[in-house]
Amino acid sequence: MYWANFLHFYQPWGQQEDIMEAIVAQSYRPILEGVKKNKRIRLTFNINGALLELFDKYRYRDLIDILRELGKEGRVEFTSSSKYHVFLPLVEEKEVIRQIQINDETNKFYLGEGYKPQGFFLPEMAYKKELIPILEDLEFKWIILDEIACGGEPGHVDYKKVYKIKDSNLLVFFRERRLSNLIMSAVVRSKETLKEAMKDDLKSGRYLVTAMDVETFGHHRPGLEKMLFDVLAAPEFELIQISDISKHYKDYEEVSPVKSTWASSVEDIKNDIQFLSWNDPENVIHKFQWDFLNMVLGEFYKVPIDIPTYPIFRNKIDASLASDSFWWASAKPWWSLEMIEVGAWRLLEAMEAIPNIPKDKVDRARDFYTKIISTAFNWQRTGRIRQIMKEQKSILRIPFKDRTISKGGAEKGVYHAFIDMMEKLEREAAKKG
C-alpha cells in the first residue's frame, strides 16, 4: 500500500526560548535526525518561514541544515503556506498573497534548492472556495484538506481516485481522519497495531494519506516520537510523497470541497460554524480583535510604500496577522491570557509605529487594547472561562462508544480499530499466561 504522510511544523512567531528549547529537544531534533538516518522514509513537510527564523534566532541551525539536506536529496518535499500561520479564509486577498510570497522567500533562503513546493498547506486546513483562484494564480498544483471537506462528513473519499477541485486545475488530497487520529492518540503505536488498524485495506489497492502536527510526537505525547519510526518501518507500506500519488493513480474525479478545517465536526459544518475558534459571533473578544486588526490595516494601507521605514511597518503588520491570538481567545476550550495580550500588543505597536498617525486613532487603538485585555481578565476572574471549559469537558464524559461509533464514518472506524486491537492484546496476554 502506498502511504503519503504529511507532517506540519509550527510554533508562533516570537515563541519563548525556553519553550523552543523543549520542543526542539523533545520533538524536532529526534524526528529530523530519525528521518535523516532512515533512507527509506519519504515524507511531505510543511514548515512555516517564521519557524525557520526561530531556528536561526535560537541557533538551531543544524536543524535547518538537516531540512535543507533532506529537501535536496528529495527524501522530503516541502509545501508552501502562510509565513505567520494566518487563518487565510478570514483575511483580504492581498494579505493572503503577501503571506505566501514572504513565506516562499524565507523558505527558499533557508532551504535552498530543495524548496520547490508543488503543494500548499492552508493553516488549520482552513478552506473556502474563494482561495482557489489565488492558489492557482500562484501556480500551486495541489492542496491537502481533511476528509470531512469531501461531502461534509468522513467516509466519502475513494482512496483509489485522485480528486480535482471543480472549475479549477487544482488537485486536492484528503487526509484520512481515522488513521491520523489513531496514530496521534497512540492507539496505533507499532507496526503490528498499524496493520491491525488497516487490515481490511492492506490488499485493496488504495493509497493512504495521513497528516499530523509534528509536535504531537515527543512534545505533547512523550515517547510517541519513537513509535512514529516503528510505524513508518512497516514493510507492507511503500512510503511516498503527496505529489507522487497522481503518478500511481490515474482515475480522476471532480469534487467541490465544503468550507471546513481539519478539526471541523459534522455538526460544525451543518451549523455553518466551521471557523468558530477564530471568529465566534458570540465572543466579544473576537469582535474586538477583528475590529482592531481591520482598523490597523486600514491605517497602514494609507502609508506610502516609498518611505524608508515602510519595510519595518510592513513586517509588523505581517506578524500581527497570525491566527494564534484569535485561537487562544476562543475559550472553547483554548484559552491563554498571554497569547491574547501578545496579539493585541502587536497591533497596538504596529499602529503606534505608523508615521504621522492622528492622536485620536492612536487613542482608539489603545482603547481596543485595553478592552481586549480587561475583558479577558474579567472572564478569567469571574469564572466564565472555567464554566466554558467545564461545558466543553462534559463532552468527554460521553461514553467512548457513543462519541465514536454513533457518529458513523471515520469515527466509527476509530471505535472498531480500538476494540480490535484491545481484543488482540487480550489474546496475546492470555497466551503468555
Q: What is the pLDDT of residues 59-114, one digit of tens each?
A: 999 999 999 999 999 999 999 999 999 999 999 999 999 999 999 999 999 999 99
- Tell me the residue type at 390: K
Q: Based on the domain organization, do 219 and 320 belong to the same domain?
A: no
Q: Is residue 275 part of a domain?
A: no
Q: Are residues 151 and 74 in the same domain?
A: yes
Residue 183 lies in a domain: yes
pLDDT at 407: 43
Co-location of 324 and 239 in the same domain: no
In the 3-class helix/strand/coil scheme, how is the chain assigned residue by residue?
CEEEEEEEECCCCCCCHHHHHHHHHHHHHHHHHHHHHCCCCCEEEEECHHHHHHHHHCCCHHHHHHHHHHHHHCCEEECECCCCCECHHHCCHHHHHHHHHHHHHHHHHHHHHHCCCCEECCHHHCECHHHHHHHHHCCCCEEEEEHHHCCCCCCCCCCCCEEEECCCCCEEEEECHHHHHHHHCCCCCCHHHHHHHCCCCCCCCCEEEEEEEHHHECCCECCHHHHHHHHHCCCCCEEECHHHHHHHCCCEEEECCCCECCCCCHHHHHCCCCCCCCCCCCCHHHHHHHHHHHHHHHHHCCCCCCCCCHHHHHHHHHHHCECHHHHCCCCCCCCCHHHHHHHHHHHHHHHHHCCCCCHHHHHHHHHHHHHHHHHHHHHHHCCHHHHHHHHHHHHHHCCHHHHHHHHCHHHHHHHHHHHHHHHHHHHHHHHHC
> How many other CB atoms are found less than 10 A from the CB of residue 428?
10
- State what percent of residues in the chain have pLDDT above 90: 77
**CATH number where 116 lies:** 3.20.110.20
Task: Please compute the mean of the pLDDT values over residues 194-205 and round it to a whole number.
Answer: 86
Please tell me the distance from the alpha carbon of residue 104 to that of residue 110, in angstroms, as a whole number.
10
Average pLDDT over the chain, rounded to an integer: 91
pLDDT at residue 311 in the model: 93
Which has the minimum average pLDDT: 36-50, 223-237, 256-270, 283-297? 223-237
pLDDT at 431: 61
Q: Is 179 a domain residue?
A: yes
Say yes or no: 421 and 360 in one domain: no
Q: Which of 247, 270, 293 is the last residue of a domain?
A: 270
Name the band, by pLDDT with cuts 50, 70 and 90, for residue 195: confident
In the predicted model, is pLDDT for residue 422 greater than 80? no
388 confidence band (pLDDT: 50, 70, 90): confident
* Domain interval for residue 299: 284-389
Confidence of residue 187 (pLDDT cuts 50, 70, 90): confident
pLDDT band for 412, please (50, 70, 90 cuts): very low
Is 278 a domain residue? Answer: no
Q: Are residues 325 and 413 in the same domain?
A: no
Q: Give the whole-number percent of the chain exceeding pLDDT 70.
A: 90
Mean pLDDT value across residues 245-263: 97
- Residue among 357, 344, 345 at smallest CA distance from 303: 357
Residues 234 and 343 in one domain: no
Residues 234 and 361 in one domain: no
Residue 188 has pLDDT above 50, yes or no: yes
Please give the order of strands across the beta sheet that includes 142-146. Answer: 119-120, 142-146, 171-175, 162-165, 252-255
311, with CB counted inside 10 A (0-12, 13-18, 19+), is: exposed
Per-residue pLDDT, 192: 86
- Phi, psi values for residue 2, rounded to 5°: -80, 135
The region of weakest confidence among 86-90, 343-347, 421-425 is 421-425
CB 402 within 8 Å of CB 342: no
* Dihedral over Cα of 22, 223, 211, 328: its sign: negative
Q: Is the pLDDT of residue 433 over 80?
A: no
Q: Which grid cell sits at 45? A: 513537510
Question: Residue 354: inside a domain, yes or no?
Answer: yes
Question: Is 277 a member of any domain?
Answer: no
**What does the pLDDT read at residue 191?**
83
Report whether pLDDT(398) > 70: no
Query: What is the rounded distance in angstroms from the CA atom of residue 371 to the CA atom of residue 376?
Result: 8
Least confident span in 132-146, 149-163, 412-426: 412-426
Give the range among 188-202, 320-334, 371-385 with minimum mean pLDDT: 188-202
Average pLDDT over residues 30-46: 96
* Higher-confidence position of 186 and 362: 362
Residue appearing with cell numbers 466564565? 384
Question: CA dihedral in degrees (243, 249, 252, 255; nearest 10)?
Answer: -50
Q: Which residues have CB under 8 Å from 366's CB, separation 6+?
A: 348
220, 244, 270 — which closes off a domain? 270
The yes-or-no verdict on residue 408 having pLDDT over 60 is no
276 in a domain, yes or no? no
> What confidence score (pLDDT) does residue 406 get?
44
Residues 17 and 125 grouped into a single domain: yes
Q: Is 279 contained in some domain?
A: no
Is 265 in the same domain as 306? no
Q: Domain end: 229, 246, 270, which one?
A: 270
Same domain, yes or no, for 218 and 312?
A: no
Counted domains in the chain: 3
User: What per-residue confidence (pLDDT) applies to 390?
Assistant: 77
Residues 364 and 428 both lie in one domain? no
Q: pLDDT band at residue 275, thresholds of 50, 70 and 90?
A: very high
Same domain for 233 and 350?
Answer: no
pTM beyond 0.85: the answer is yes
Beta-carbon count within 10 A of 247 CB: 11
